[in-house]
Amino acid sequence: MTSSPPDGPAEPSQQAPSANGSNDRFDFTAAVPGADSLGSVHFIAIGGAGMSGVARVMLARGLAVSGSDAKDSLVLRALAAEGAEVHIGHDAAHLGAADTVVISSAVREDNVELRAARARGLRVLHRSQALASVMRGNRRVAVAGTNGKTTTTSMLTVALQHCGVDPSFAVGGELAKHGTNAHLGTGDIFVAEADESDGSFLVYRPDVAIVTSVQPDHLDFYGTFESVQAAYARFAATVQPGGLLVTCADDPGSRTLAHLARAAGTRVITYGLAGDADVRLTAPGGAGFHGHGDLVRAGVGLGHLQIGMPGRHNLLNATASFVAATEGLGQDPGRVLEGLAGFTGTRRRFEPKGEVAGVRVVDDYAHNPGKVAAVVETARGLAAPGRLIVVFQPHLYSRTRDFAAELATALSPADIVFVMDVYAAREDPMPGVSGALIADRLADADRPRAGESAQFVPFWSDVAPLVAQVARAGDLVLTVGAGDVTMIGPEILRLLGERRGPGDVAQGQE
């Protein structure tokens, strides 16, 4: 069976590592068909964040949409309410009269519905190709990068909405303010999060592209960091003539990409804290769950940036959104800044879950070293003078194997770390690979904080009781990972509520 993980697109791709990151199941350089030619569309594993977003846009366009997933979910029920024919479980009969079948790289070739579709000679599209088909005819914006692309896509979308242009969008997470991950707008702009994990970000041919960072990740598909870099270079080359590439000057990989793209004749604007960034973020700061800074270009102030999210990385994401909206899409800088100030976040991106007995709980989707380092650094600042307790669930056996040391380093600023076992997603177990690889490195490391501890907790049900046992008033608990670790925060709050005394106050408990 094929089901979707709780959040985000399914990973990893079912491809053997390649020398250049090519995908042998799909040609992402080929032209995509127009949405009006797709006929009736069936999604295999329709409940995933990426798949459900494309399905929503197609439904809004009036296409007949059906889909299947291994388990029922709120997403499936919402899609059914929007007009999709939804099936639980996989069966060839679920294809019905479908003309086109949409899959992600995580759907294996032996899936019973995919086998039937191929036997019937139906058109089979990758999720990104299906999304590109509904983007045709719009000014296309693609947001890519190892870290920050969901938040940046969401920020840009909200800023454009504030400018009154009603963009279409498809995001790998749910916008808190809108309660959805996709929307068919009335304007001519379509903003999409572009996934690099399987090479599919090459399909969009954007008018405006953002690359937040280029770092080693998805080595199960690419094999080497050099192949990752080459794939981003190919992505930059897909920016349409007269278009704009926005890159982060603070990230070495993104900086290198900017040089390559400029040499190839692409218009590039860099952003960041770096002194040579085209648009500089200066005087960054913040308090609590808010951040601020000033934007400057060539010595001229562009305005004061404010966001309702903590962390320098989120200020940089907002800066990228500002540059794309103003320089790439011609929107008024003041209106864009007002829109960014009103951004209320994306689900599972440093999302507060509640506070009980003086213990705050925050949840985040971070799953690679760069993301984890950024979110732990942010949480460390918010926890002071209390302790930071991190619950980390590694995502994918291959990523745990490849980056155990880097993940341990990213987690090291925390006072207490509980490392869960690996959330497999679409991978089969690998001998000798578990969360213990990370916990053992943390335990052996010369960590910077006194009184720290690290523990591998192999059983999911043991985690919340252990956290509730050690947490005390003033602590911040951060649950981190792309799997079902998101369900642990509410359980921690419940257990804390059971033990609290008459003087304790519960706030925002779920």
pLDDT digits (tens, 9 = 90+) for 90-121: 999 999 999 999 998 888 899 999 999 999 99
pLDDT in the model for residue 325: 97
Q: Note the pLDDT tens digit of each residue in 292-308.
A: 999 999 999 999 999 98
Residue 276 and residue 211 share a domain: yes
Residue 333 and residue 362 share a domain: no
> Other C-beta atoms within 10 Å of 4: how many?
25
Q: Is residue 416 part of a domain?
A: yes
When pLDDT is cut at 50, 70 and 90, the band that residue 346 belongs to is low
Residue 275 and residue 143 share a domain: yes
Q: Work out the average pLDDT over 445-467.
A: 76
Q: Note the pLDDT tens digit of each residue in 149-172.
A: 888 999 999 999 999 999 999 987
Res. 406: pLDDT tops 70: yes
The CATH number covering residue 216 comes to 3.40.1190.10
**Catalytic site residues?**
149-150, 193
Domain span holding position 319: 137-341
Res. 229: pLDDT tops 60: yes
Distances, alpha carbon 168 to alpha carbons 218, 355, 422, in Å: 28, 35, 35
**Coil/strand/helix, residue 106:** coil
User: How far apart (Å, rounded) are the C-alpha atoms in residues 471 and 359?
Assistant: 7
User: How far apart (Å, rounded) are the C-alpha atoms in residues 475 and 383?
Assistant: 6
Residue 204 and residue 110 share a domain: no
**Coil/strand/helix, residue 370:** helix
The domain boundary, picked from 305, 321, 341, lies at 341
Q: Work out the average pLDDT over 63-78.
A: 90
Q: Is residue 25 part of a domain?
A: no
Q: Note the pLDDT tens digit of each residue in 267-282.
A: 999 999 999 999 999 9
The DSSP 8-state label assigned to residue 487 in this structure reads G
The CATH number covering residue 112 comes to 3.40.50.720
pLDDT in the model for residue 131: 95
Contact indicator for 193, 365 with CB cutoff of 8 Å = no
Q: Is residue 401 part of a domain?
A: yes
Residue 242 and residue 194 share a domain: yes
Q: Is residue 424 part of a domain?
A: yes
Reading the block at residue 172, the tokens are 């790998």
pLDDT in the model for residue 232: 95
Q: Note the pLDDT tens digit of each residue in 167-218.
A: 999 987 666 555 678 889 999 999 999 988 888 999 999 999 999 999 888 8
Residue 237 and residue 187 share a domain: yes
Residue 283 and residue 359 share a domain: no
Look at the alpha carbons of 338, 339, 345, 350 in this order and tell me if their dihedral is positive or negative.
negative
Q: Is residue 2 part of a domain?
A: no
The domain boundary, picked from 104, 132, 160, lies at 132
pLDDT in the model for residue 49: 77
Residue 242 and residue 367 share a domain: no
Q: Work out the average pLDDT over 335-353.
A: 82
pLDDT in the model for residue 427: 77
Q: How many domains does the chain have?
A: 3
Note the Cα 81 to chain centre separation in Å.
26
Res. 16: pLDDT tops 50: no
The CATH number covering residue 383 comes to 3.90.190.20
When pLDDT is cut at 50, 70 and 90, the band that residue 449 belongs to is low
Residue 303 and residue 242 share a domain: yes
Residue 318 and residue 355 share a domain: no
Judged on CB neighbours under 10 Å (0-12, 13-18, 19+), 13 is buried
Residue 378 and residue 436 share a domain: yes
Res. 51: pLDDT tops 50: yes
pLDDT in the model for residue 201: 93
